[in-house]
Structures are given as C-alpha cells and as structure tokens.
A and B are shown apart, each in its own frame.
Chain A
C-alpha cells in the first residue's frame, strides 16, 4: 500500500529532512501541527491536553541545533503525541479517568524522556479508554474518539486517540500501550501501523499500570520504517523498570528491505474460523498470496488452545487490574469524593464516583477471581492455560519464522454498536490477546480497504525479541 506524500502522511524522515535541510523550522512545523489539531480534532476528540509550551521549547532547541550545524538526533523536530496513560512532566495525566482529574505527574515516563532526548517535539496527550480498558475508546471519561476514516465508527481501543491522531495527520507518530490488543487493533481500524514490542523491550516506568504481566508500550506510525526507527529509540534496559530486558538492541532499520524470500510464514487455522468478516479474510488471503509471490513459504499450522485465550486473558488481566487500581483512593492525587466523614467512606465513594462502569466491572471480576475459595479455580487455572497458550506459540515458532493473521475479526464497528454487551466487545481482541499472554512481538500493518472504505490490518507475530523479522515482513506487505 503506497501513501501519497501529503502532510497527512508525513513520515519521520520527511519531517527530519525538512528541518535538517532548512526547508522548515521545527517551531514552524510544530505550529502547523497545532493548526491541524485545531481544525481536525473537534470532530475526532483524539487529544486530551496539548503541551504547547514544552513542545515549542523543544522545537526551539532543535532549531538552534540546526543553526549551529550540530549533528541532529534521530527524531529531531518530529511532532509526536503520547497516550494519556504515560506520565509527562508539565502535562496532566488522566488515563481517560475522572479519578485522576487534576493530576500533574512530577516526572517523565522513560519512553517519553527517550523520545525527547532523541529530539522529538511532544505535542500533548491522547485520549484512550479509561485505564486502557476497552476496545473502542468509548470508555473514556472524556468522550469517545471518532475514527478519522469514518466518523460514525470507533477508532478501536484502548489507544484510540493515538491511532486516530496519526491517521488524521495530527501527529507524525504517537505512543500507545497494548495489554490485549490496544495498539494493534486501533492501528487496524484506523489504517496505520501499530507495533507491540516483546515484553520487556521498552521500559514501562511512568506507565499507569493496568495488568503488569501484560502491559507494553509501542509506537503508531504511517510506515513500517517509522515504527522501526521509533523502536530503536525506545527499546533498551531501564534500571527503573525491573521487567525491562538487557537483551541488546539491534538497528531495526538495517534489514528492513532485505528480501523475505525463504522466510517461513505460519497461517494458524484457528485465526480464520467462525466470526471472521469475509472482506477481512479476502484481504488477508491476498496478503498471503503477495508474500508467497515474494518467495515466502506458507505453512498451515494449528494453535490448538486459541479458543481459551479470551477467558484466560479476562481472568488474569482483571486480577492484576484489581490490585494495580487499589492505589486510586483519593489520598495522593486526583479526585476525592466530597463530604465523606470516615476514611473508608471516602475510599468507597471516591472509587465509585471516580471509576467508570467498565473499570468497576473489571475490578469486581478481578477481585472475585482472587478471593478466598476461587483463586485456584480461576486465577491459577488461567495461569496454567496461559502456559498452554504460550507453548502453542513456541511450538509454532520451532517450525515457522512468523505468523500471519488478521489483526481484528472485522473492520471498525459503529460507535455504540457493542457498548451494552461486554462479551461481544471482548471478542474484538480475539486475534491479539494471546500475543500479550505469551510475551511475543507483533505488528499490525494496513493490507486492504473494505468496500465501504474502512481499513483492514494484517498482523505479523514473531518470536520473543525478533522484532527485526516481523518488521521485515511488514515492510514487504506495505511495499506489495
């Protein structure tokens, strides 16, 4: 899929070269993105706050570097947005929740700091489902995000604002987070590239935690090359995150265009079963044909425990969430219910008034599965099935190099279509959750358009720490 070089599809290289060559100033570019946001966002609602002062100071620093003739860092002057579950000093952090209203975190998340150290201009914070819990961005306390490709449709979730901002040309790239599909599924719905790096690849220091054994930070971009560039900046060990990995970080752009000839592509039959939209199936089959034509070998494989992934995920993710969200109690930051005359009443009323329905549902479910008498039946059982699901992938990756699947069973659905049925909503993540449980990496890349003009994404899954190979396959799909 080729993209015209319009402003709505400005890449990292476009932006960086325009600044390096003196064709534009970083400050001018930042202002032009703020103008686009002012014009476009009233109908999309992707942004929760703009950090204009910090962005323009950073842009001025980049302009001074250009004037002095300094070597420019990888993201010099590139306008980037941040999902509002990552902390950024000087900007509010809401996590899409009323309970964090007014919270101004006093420190930067490591991912945010790394972007700025690489020269990025951080435009502001992006809308998302409350505490990243949702698949449509309709669970935000600050209103839903509209899909820029079709305004009556959801952008996907939970990183809906991050996907929509890139799709609408309101940022060159953005950061999102993915606990069960929250980067890949909105990337698919909005027609952009979204990447889930391996567990431990990118630091989560400064991420407002949802489910710590599953949460990851990753980029949204227009192109696969941009995803590779951002991953190179973001990846690496961080002493502030005990789960971040010391595995060396390669140059992810080096082998992007290396031919994919000879790569073994697995096609898991369980990902093409009942519930898959016919147009999505056709687009993925066309993509498989293109990979075959490029010299990949295709292999039908089985991931036999796939049907158990969603229930396993909803036990483990909610259990971890019930523990992580215990910290929101009206004492140290954010909202506090007024006129409570005892500490316990204050806790309960703050949490009841501050959390939305889906967050309460997940806290209750997570508390239930961890409670005395149910722990073994639900939580331990789900951990055992998590092992089986992970072994499915490890077995597959002993036979093939990558897996190719749809990212989501359908294109973007309509706003309001699934809000009354949590189980139907959870199925939007049916092809994405298992990668989170297993810790492997994945990427969603645009591979087609439905008859009604809705984007369709292909998901490439790869071995732990083998981002280079999935990027290479995604590049082949993008170039086909």
Chain B
C-alpha cells in the first residue's frame, strides 16, 4: 500500500487486508467470516473499479445535496440553530439503557493496567 499512488484499484483483496480493515473497524471476525468477507469485498470492489472508466479530473466532489440546492434550486440552508443553552436528557434517562452503570457513569472493562 502506497498512499502516494492512491489510484490503484486493480489489486485484489487479501486476507491480510480484511484483517487490517476489521481491526480499524473494531470487528473481531471468525476465520470463516474472514474468508467470506475477502470473497465478497473482492467482488464488490471489482464492480466499483468501473468508476475508473470515467475521467473526473475537472469534476468537483459532491459530499452533500445542499451543495447542489444552493446552486440550482434557490434554496438556502440555515444549517445551525441558535447557540443557546437548553435542557438536555436527565442523567437517569441517559443511563437507563446502558449494559452497566454505577448510577452516575457508564461502566466498562478496565482500560489501563495498574
């Protein structure tokens, strides 16, 4: 993998790639899942590779529909509401669906070994 040559979408997906991405995504896959995912990701990315048929050098990327609406539909977007303090969820409500709490905080397994 070479970040400076990022247009290479022709290479196939290895098991090693699947494991690396699973780690990035905090997923622990079984050996069987790894094999299936390797096959499926390779097939899907094979389809995605056809996007390279298009020359897009002059085309701006579109992340959001609002970019288009601003230009074409005369619609303005007032994205943010006024920055004023408001009541938030009560602590008890926020904690009520958690798997483990001490009534004040969410509890999780130990993070730092002492």
Interface of A toward B, CB cutoff 8 Å:
102-107, 199-200, 213, 239-240, 242-243, 245-247, 305, 307-308, 310-312, 314-315, 322, 326, 329-336, 340-349, 351-352, 355, 357, 360-361, 363-365, 367-369, 371-378, 380-388, 390, 394, 422-423, 438-439, 463-465
Contact = CB atoms under 8 A, between A and B. Distances in A.
B59 A384 contact: yes
Interface in B23-82: 24-30, 33, 36-37, 40-41, 43-45, 47-48, 50-52, 54, 56, 59-66, 68-69, 72-73, 75-81
Nearest to A394: B72
A307 to B, nearest CB: 8
Contact of A246 (B72, B77, B108): B77
Contact of A364 (B41, B89, B110): B41
A385 B6 contact: no
Interface of B: 1-3, 6-9, 13, 17-18, 20-22, 24-30, 33, 36-37, 40-41, 43-45, 47-48, 50-52, 54, 56, 59-66, 68-69, 72-73, 75-81, 89, 93-94, 96-100, 106, 108-111
Given A200-B66, A326-B26, A464-B65, 18 more contacts: A200-B65, A243-B79, A245-B69, A245-B75, A315-B51, A326-B25, A329-B26, A352-B29, A352-B30, A360-B33, A364-B21, A365-B45, A375-B6, A383-B61, A388-B56, A388-B59, A390-B62, A439-B69
B81 A364 contact: no
A250 to B, nearest CB: 14
B56 A333 contact: no
26 contacts: A106-B96, A106-B97, A107-B89, A246-B75, A311-B47, A312-B51, A331-B99, A345-B109, A351-B26, A360-B37, A361-B37, A364-B27, A367-B21, A367-B24, A368-B17, A368-B41, A373-B1, A377-B8, A382-B51, A384-B60, A388-B54, A394-B72, A422-B40, A438-B68, A464-B65, A464-B69
A381 B96 contact: no
B68 A314 contact: no
Interface core residue of B25, B78, B96 (most chain A CB under 10 Å)? B25
Contacts of A245: 69, 75, 77
Interface of A is mostly: helix
A103 B97 contact: yes
Nearest to A375: B6
A383 B109 contact: no
Interface of B is mostly: loop
B37 A200 contact: no
User: Sorted from nearest, which 3 A-B pairs have the closest CB atoms?
Assistant: A439-B65, A383-B61, A348-B28
Contacts of B63: 213, 383
Contacts of B111: 342-343
A391 to B, nearest CB: 9
Nearest to B38: A364
A308 B21 CA distance: 25
Contacts of B97: 102-106, 332-334
B48 A315 contact: yes
A423 B40 CA distance: 9
A385 B56 contact: yes
A123 B53 CA distance: 49
B99 A330 contact: yes
Contact of B73 (A240, A330, A351, A464): A464
Contacts of A355: 27
Interface core residue of B20, B28, B47, B50 (most chain A CB under 10 Å)? B28
Contacts of A384: 54, 56, 59-62
Interface core residue of B59, B68, B76, B89 (most chain A CB under 10 Å)? B68
Interface core residue of A345, A390, A439 (most chain B CB under 10 Å)? A439
Given A102-B97, A343-B109, A423 B44 contact: yes
B37 to A, nearest CB: 6
A234 B76 CA distance: 20
B50 to A, nearest CB: 6
A461 to B, nearest CB: 14
Contacts of A387: 59-62
Contacts of B6: 373-377
Contacts of B65: 199-200, 213, 438-439, 464
